[in-house]
Amino acid sequence: MLGNMALIFYARVSSKDQNLERQIYRAKQVKANKVFVDKKSGKNIERSGLQEMFNYIREGDTIEIVSLDRLSRNYNDIKKLVQVLKEKKVKLLVDDLPITHTGNDLVDNFLLDMMIGLMGFVAENERQKIRERQRQGIERAKQKGKYKGRAKKYSPNSTSREGRLVYQGVVNDYKTDNYETKVQLANKYGISRQQVYRILSTINQ
């Protein structure tokens, strides 16, 4: 190491039960000057070891991690943390991204940015796929008549006995023409006119 520049290693596992041994071994291999450790989920950046490391680092230092998901499992957090490192002029080495270790800082930064951009694309693409699968699932369920949406109070399958009885009463009166107006039906069963229309729309489908 030149001057006061330090090689800092950051290791993280998700829980106290998981083993940090592999990451600590790597830190010894690369002769890290300082090691920061967290035994906490990577879902956010509220971690004492991570915060201590960011307070400790100085311009010209290098941080090494075994993989980007040690920093965080959240793409936006990774992007934010890497940006902070750039502003502090701290280099980031990621063991499982050897293409970002060319030795040329400009190229390394460009490749790291490209990898993080690709991760963002993959993450957003996955979110869109999940949303699309949900939409298709709802469409298929609707086609099969299985999509219930929010449970309706007045329906043949209502969890409320009163709801089932009101539904049957409105349907029977409607089918036997035993009513004068829909308003009169609503008043008879103590429900709103919109609820009468909803009940009738189910038998007209």
Q: Which residues are catalytic?
A: 14
77 in Cβ contact with 119 (< 8 Å): no
Name the 3-class secondary structure at 52.
helix
Kindly state the tokens that stand for 137.
Answer: 């699932």
Look up residue 50 and give its amino acid.
L
Tell me what percent of the chain is helix, strand and coil, each rounded to the nearest 5.
55, 10, 35
Residue 11, H or E segment = strand 7-13
